Amino acid sequence: MAMLMRLELRKIRLRNWLLSFAAANLVIAMWVVTNLPNEGVRTFVEAFYSNRSYVEMTFIVFSSVFMSKLVMDEYKSKTVANLFAYPIARSRLLAAKLIVTALFSFAASMLSNLFVAAFFLAANAKNGYIAEPLTSGLLTDEALRIFINAFAVTGVVLLPLYVGMARKSGNAIIVASFVLALGLGGSHDESGHNWTLAAAIAACCVGAGFVSAAFAVRKAEREDIL
């Protein structure tokens, strides 16, 4: 499976994706430091909540575009006919793509949240947007939330796959992810310090994403490639 995943990475322009990822992070970070002071944010908990919302909405869509390129472009360009003529089960080929997508989404969510939070804290130290003291407890809590939310984002990213596979359309994946990002972005964060609820919501997102991916793979296994 590791080899199949490496082959997937060789098909895409990884450098372009990393540059786009860096650019997206810079835009979110700049947006956060210019916009948060005007939103009436007074505590670090509120600020971190806003940061995560922006990051999640951005990377649900960004990772869905990534998945669309990795999966749907094979159908669009018809290279899927070559792919499925290799002596490897279709389920394994598609699983490799989805694991790459999931790892990308998870890493993108984690790294971006950490970067944006660090950027905001650096700007705050200089400009003093928030008056309350920053404690190690606040930072630990935020790190844990970022970790749990990265799972949730990964699950949500996989959700539109079934729609995309049914319609054989990358655009369907992106539109569905956009709707999900608007609907779900940050909403699962309102658990406050209830870690059990936060973990349960993240587990539900991962479970739903997994089920959607499983149905999509099952459909791909049975369909004719014309």
Q: From the CB of 206, what's the least distance to other proteins, in Å? A: 28
Q: Is 160 within 8 Å of 172 (Cβ atoms)? A: yes
> Which of residues 4 and 139 has its CB atom nearest to other proteins in the complex?
4
DSSP 206: H
Q: How far apart are CA 190 and CA 17, in angstroms?
A: 31
Residue from the set 82, 171, 187, 194 that interacts with other proteins by CB under 8 A? 82
1 binds other proteins (CB under 8 A): no
222 binds other proteins (CB under 8 A): yes
> Which of residues 3 and 131 has its CB atom nearest to other proteins in the complex?
3
Q: From the CB of 132, what's the least distance to other proteins, in Å? A: 51
> Which of residues 14 and 27 has its CB atom nearest to other proteins in the complex?
14
Q: Is 109 within 8 Å of 184 (Cβ atoms)? A: no
Q: How far apart are CA 77 and CA 87, in angstroms?
A: 20
Residue from the set 9, 23, 26, 89 that interacts with other proteins by CB under 8 A? 89
| DSSP states along 109-146 | HHHHHHHHHHHHHHHHHHH----SPPPHHHHHHHHHHH
- Window 2 to 31, contacts with other proteins (CB under 8 A): 3, 7, 10-11, 13
Residue 9, Ramachandran bin (φ over 0: left; ψ between -120 and 50: alpha; else beta): alpha
Closest-CA residue to 170 (of 83, 91, 101, 110) = 101
Q: From the CB of 131, what's the least distance to other proteins, in Å? A: 52
| DSSP states along 41-66 | --SHHHHHHHHHHHHHHHHHHHHHHH
168 binds other proteins (CB under 8 A): no
140 binds other proteins (CB under 8 A): no
Residue from the set 81, 179, 182, 204 that interacts with other proteins by CB under 8 A? 81
Q: From the CB of 76, what's the least distance to other proteins, in Å? A: 11
190 binds other proteins (CB under 8 A): no
- Tell me the residue length of the chain: 226
- Name the residues that contact other proteins, by CB under 8 A: 3, 7, 10-11, 13, 77-79, 81-90, 221-222, 224-226
